[in-house]
């Protein structure tokens, strides 16, 4: 990582992305709980109710989105740890620098393009 101001800008980018991702996780959690509560309140028989499959699909879709958002949050936390340790921007697999373009597109990237 370059000079101190570059590290500060990188921290701001990572923290802003972390806050956006955390807000998404919270929203998806609320949506999932709404579906669960809705299904609990209506005695839906997924097998015989035409709406049952839709509720099941929506819940599975939200679960997948939630898992991806939580994974992104973990990636951002690890990127912040690498930044604090002075290893941000260095591939965790081969030790080569991660290209600036890749880091601009994926600030939490831990792997260079070759290792990805």
Q: What is the pLDDT of residues 74-89, one digit of tens each?
A: 999 999 999 999 999 9
Average pLDDT of the segment spanning 5-21: 95
Q: Is the pLDDT of residue 22 over 90?
A: yes
DSSP 43-54: T--TTT-TTHHH
pTM for the model stands at: 0.80
Residue 54 binned pLDDT confidence (cut-offs 50, 70, 90): confident
- State pLDDT tens for residues 80-114: 999 999 999 999 999 999 999 999 999 999 999 99
Q: How distant, in Å, are the alpha carbons of 8, 48, 76 from that of 20?
A: 18, 39, 11
User: What are the backbone dihedrals phi and psi of residue 97, each rounded to the nearest 5 degrees, phi first?
Assistant: -65, 145
Structure tokens at 109: 């990237």
* pLDDT value for 26: 96
Q: Is the pLDDT of residue 47 over 60?
A: no
Structure tokens at 37: 């509560």
């Amino acid at each position: 990582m370059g000079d101190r101001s570059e590290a500060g800008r990188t921290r701001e980018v990572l923290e802003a992305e972390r806050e956006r991702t955390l807000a998404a996780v919270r929203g998806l959690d609320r949506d999932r709980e709404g579906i669960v509560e809705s299904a609990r309140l209506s005695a839906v028989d997924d097998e015989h109710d035409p709406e049952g499959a839709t509720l099941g699909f929506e819940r599975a879709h939200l679960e997948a989105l939630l898992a991806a958002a939580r994974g992104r949050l973990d990636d951002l936390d690890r990127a912040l740890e690498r930044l604090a340790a002075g290893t941000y921007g260095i591939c965790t697999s081969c030790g080569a620098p991660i290209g600036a373009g890749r880091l601009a597109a994926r600030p939490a990237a831990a792997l260079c393009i070759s290792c990805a």
